[in-house]
């Protein structure tokens, strides 16, 4: 795990918390704001934030095509909350820009508004029991192709994996545990 170069998309959202968590895992981190930075990475995290704003900025700066190209070549990419939405092939009832990399249909703000935020114990396949922080969180309504469901909460899909891609509707970076970060680093 040590020495892996993990980029964290730093256009908007909770990128500093991801950077801190990966540093605690011993990974090298890089805050990504330019398309050329993608070439040097072993893995990329797309953090939570405002998915429409992040999608627009990714397109404006050419990051979308750089991420798509590198992900299709096998680079691991993990999207949390808004990042999950941006990885999705479909966003229910929305025409917002996405990367369209994962065979999932996502519903935005599915657990309610900011005031409805909560923390819950989750059981994740291949990882075990951990905590998840849900803030205006989406959930996956449907998966297809090679996408695997790793976790459900209240019968809603909240964590999925498709080959080199990982997506969580919750925020592991806001807890003390590093189980999911370590799981992701094994992909790099």
Structure tokens at 129: 């029991």
For the chain, list the strands marked E by DSSP: 5-9, 28-32, 43-46, 77-80, 88-91, 102-107, 118-124, 128-134, 139-143, 148-153, 156-162, 165-168
Q: Reply yes or no on whether 18 is catalytic.
A: no
Q: Which residues contact 127 (CB under 8 A, 6 or more apart)?
A: 150, 179, 180, 183
Spot the catalytic one: 17, 161, 162, 173: 173
Cα separation, 121 vs 129, whole angstroms = 7
Report in angstroms the alpha-carbon separations of 133 from 3, 18, 35, 120, 170: 28, 13, 30, 7, 5
- Which whole-number Å values give the CA distances from 76 to 2, 44, 65, 161, in the listed order? 16, 6, 15, 10
- Bridge partners, 157 (sequence order): 140, 152
Residue in 81, 151, 161, 162 annotated catalytic: 81
Q: Is 81 among the residues known to form the active site? A: yes
Residues acting as catalytic residues: 81, 171, 173
């Amino acid at each position: 795990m040590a020495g892996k170069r993990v980029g964290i998309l730093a256009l908007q959202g909770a990128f500093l918390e991801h950077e801190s968590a990966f540093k605690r895992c011993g990974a090298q981190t890089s805050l990504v704001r330019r398309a050329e930075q993608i070439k040097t990475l072993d893995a990329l995290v797309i953090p939570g934030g405002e998915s429409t704003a992040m999608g627009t900025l990714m397109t404006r700066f050419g990051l979308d095509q750089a991420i798509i190209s590198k992900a299709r070549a096998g680079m691991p990419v993990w999207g949390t909350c808004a990042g999950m939405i941006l990885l999705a092939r479909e966003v229910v009832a929305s025409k917002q820009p996405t990367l369209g990399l994962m065979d999932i249909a996502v519903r935005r703000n599915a657990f309610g508004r900011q005031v409805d935020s909560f923390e819950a114990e989750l059981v994740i396949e291949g990882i075990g029991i951990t905590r998840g922080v849900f803030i205006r969180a989406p959930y996956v309504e449907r998966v297809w192709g090679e996408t695997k469901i790793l976790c459900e909460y209240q019968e809603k899909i909240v964590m999925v994996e498709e080959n080199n891609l990982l997506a969580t509707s919750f925020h592991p970076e806001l807890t003390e545990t590093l189980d999911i970060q370590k799981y992701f680093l094994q992909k790099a």
